[in-house]
Amino acid sequence: MHIEPGLLAPTKVLLANVSALGLLGLYAQGLLKQPADLIRTLIAALFFSVFMQGFHLPVGPSELHFVGAMAIYLTLGFLPTLYGFALGLLLQGLLFDPLDLQHLAVNALSLILPLLAVHYGLGRQLREAASGKRIGWATIVKLDAIYYSGVTLMVGFWLLAAEVATPLAAWAAFATSYLAIVAIEPLVTYGALRLLKRYEDRPLVATCFSVGALRLA
C-alpha cells in the first residue's frame, strides 16, 4: 500500500511529514507513561516488518501486503500499533529500500489514519468492561474491512494528489485485491488471540501483550 517515490510533489510530501509528526507527537505522552507499551511498540514494529516483507505483490499503482494490522492492534494495543507501524516502516526503509524513506510519512499516514478510525469507531469499546462487547469472528472481519477500506482510500487520496494521473481502474484493481487480506487475516488474528488468552496470566505474556481486557466470544 505504499506510494512510489517521485509521485508526489515535494510540498505535498512536506505537508505529510508535518501531519505525521504532529500525530505521533500528539500521542507521545501517553506512550511514555506506559513502559510496557514501549516494549510492545518494538514487538509491533517487528511483527509488522516480518508480515510486510513476508508477502507483498505489485497490484495496479501500489502493492498488496499482508499487514497483520488487526492481529497487531488487538494483541498489542492502540499506541504500540500506531508507533509500531511508523517504526516498522522506518526500519524497512533503512534495511531494504532506502528510496522509500522519501515517502515515509506518506506511507505511515496511509496506515495510521485508518487505525485511528478503527480505534475510535469500534476498537476502543472492545477493551471497556462496561460495553459488554466480546470479540468473535464477525467482529474481527468487520475491523479488518473498516481498516483496509481506509488504507485503500488513503492510497486513492495520494494518487489523486500525485503529479502523474492514475487510471481509476488501476486503483480499483488494487482496492479489490485487499478483499483477499480481509478474508485471510482474521484467521491469524483469531488464532493469535486464542493462544494469548490461554496464557494471559503468565508474566511474560502480560508484559509483552495486551489481551487481558479483551473477552472472546
Examine residue 217 and state whether it is found in any structural domain, yes or no.
no
Write out pLDDT tens, residues 67-124: 999 999 999 999 999 999 999 999 999 998 898 899 999 999 999 999 999 999 999 9
pTM, to two decimals: 0.94
Given this model, what pLDDT does residue 129 score?
Answer: 67
Examine residue 56 and state whether it is found in any structural domain, yes or no.
yes
Question: 179-186 long-range CB contacts below 8 Å, 24 or more apart?
Answer: 180/64, 181/64, 181/65, 181/66, 181/67, 181/144, 181/148, 182/141, 182/144, 182/145, 182/148, 184/66, 185/66, 185/67, 185/68, 185/69, 185/70, 185/71, 185/144, 186/70, 186/137, 186/140, 186/141, 186/144
Residue 84 sits in a domain whose CATH number is: 1.10.1760.20
The count of structural domains within the chain is 1
Q: Which domain holds residue 22?
A: 10-208
